[in-house]
Structure 1
């Protein structure tokens, strides 16, 4: 099977490419800059969302498209311009992929796209959100809704479409751990606000295994929460991260008002969070190897 990966050079993309190559897949990877591969089953192709361009031969003999594109939501303050970039980077990339597939009638069987648990809104409650829950009303929830609606265009033309609403991705060399590790290594408490907000998460090793599981199970279709079964709080995450560096702390949590001053509207990402169910995903037969935060960070 040959896979086309859009957004291949990010944290998840790099892990996923290595994992799928090891499993024997052939990969065409889309990159904004010219890159050279040193693996016989990996070829890079250039694309430019703003110029509405993809090297056409990137689609040659491709069976599945995996879409990982999107500007990092936690990288900068949410100015009006940054919000526009967050939305357009997700919407325009899918539109461009769809345009090339539909206009050239490429024989794509499966489209796997990203979303996030932010779909349910930035709230802290004890409600367990399943895939059937209503969409939230804040900025991130709106982004996720538009993101998913665009992805479902592939479903409308008869292509199997799978959307993963991902939690926070945990891996020692990327994502949330990479950002907080410098503080944790010094014994600084990395919990924010009350620390009672939930942190839906998934280990990067389980996430790439999930992609391969979907590739090899053609009956899987629709929207799934890609999260671990363990619904931990920010306090619990902070404690385990410190433990992974053999540290403890007596320092208090960073106050919520400081986080709001520093990050503005974006602070809801850090200060709010609810429980998210993975029961629908588990019913497909997928099993998590790193289903507790201790296994993820300490093993």
Structure 2
């Protein structure tokens, strides 16, 4: 991939088809710098439904340069433009990870940037930690028309939400992988491993206050379309998590329980990416 300077913090990138993309640094509402990239979508979308840009939110310890995120972005780019970004404390972004709390500000900045590029309909798709963030973001940044309404919420709202492999509730330690995650986040030695082994800088303070949980957020999302996707072999969060989320949606959320699927981006096949894209198109 060729990279040339575009001025300021930005870079333009040419993908394999020769179409130009963008990469830059944004500032979240609290001033943290967020690494973000834009991939143009296909032409000829006239008359098609669904979003014209999809914003992808990665899981804990990920970033926009990871191969599985790039693969998922490429799949969605067959249907719409795609924005990927790196959460705070991860990769090239600034700050430290709060593991799903202030990350809502990072997603809001990415959505607002997508709208600033001229996109009217924005969908958010999150994986694992990112799955919890897209739910909370949709609950906290809902409603409004970005062309007519004043205020930040109208610019940062989403028009459709997909949560893949996300938790329903905080502080879950019921599986061995989640016990390892809690050690990584809560112990000094774990945070050292996160920083130097996983390129993830983790905040050393407890949540205060504890943020709105995903299951508390879901009832606040309607009428925005919501899809919950979860694998029946997820080693982190068992099936009671997606079922709790769907129940909280009171019939307004679609639930896909995927046979044989594991966890998050690594377990998301190209076929599943295509099906999610089809769901988004049908939700107009």
Q: TM-score range by the shorter chain?
A: 0.3 to 0.5
Q: Which has the larger radius of gyration?
A: 1
Higher helix share: 1
TM-score with structure 2 setting the length: 0.36
